[in-house]
Amino acid sequence: DAGVIQSPRHEVTEMGQEVTLRCKPISGHDYLFWYRQTMMRGLELLIYFNNNVPIDDSGMPEDRFSAKMPNASFSTLKIQPSEPRDSAVYFCASSNSDRVETQYFGPGTRLLVL
């Protein structure tokens, strides 16, 4: 079975450019999470969705970040405009309501903003 799929796996961009990260959760999972991981701050929850509805976006750092989940099998995290301090690994994870605490992570997107 396919796990959580993220694309791209690596992204290098210049400051000011728009960045879009994509995630396909595990089929049948109704929770989707976006995390950011850096050496300094560790793994931070940015936002999570339940049944495609954003439940908690208190971790989204600022208005430059936005996330959408148009359907159960796809979500995007967009940064516009990007800044060097956004450089991090961005993980998407999914789980189902029967065991919401067991999150399955995707391989991550390594973002470098120059």
Binding site for another protein (CB under 8 A): 33, 35, 41-45, 48, 55-56, 91, 100-103, 105-108
To the nearest 10°, report the CA torsion of 58, 112, 90, 68. Answer: 60
Q: Closest separation between CB of residue 96 and another protein, Å?
A: 13
93 vs 87: CA distance, rounded Å: 19
Q: Closest separation between CB of residue 10 and another protein, Å?
A: 11
Query: Whose Cβ is closer to another protein: residue 81's or residue 107's?
Result: 107
- Tokens read off for 111: 């973002």
24 vs 39: CA distance, rounded Å: 26
**DSSP code of 26?**
P
Q: Closest separation between CB of residue 108 and another protein, Å?
A: 6
Query: Whose Cβ is closer to another protein: residue 18's or residue 49's?
Result: 49
Residue type, position 87, single letter: S
Q: Closest separation between CB of residue 72 and another protein, Å?
A: 20
Query: Whose Cβ is closer to another protein: residue 82's or residue 103's?
Result: 103
Residue whose tokens read 């967009």 = 78
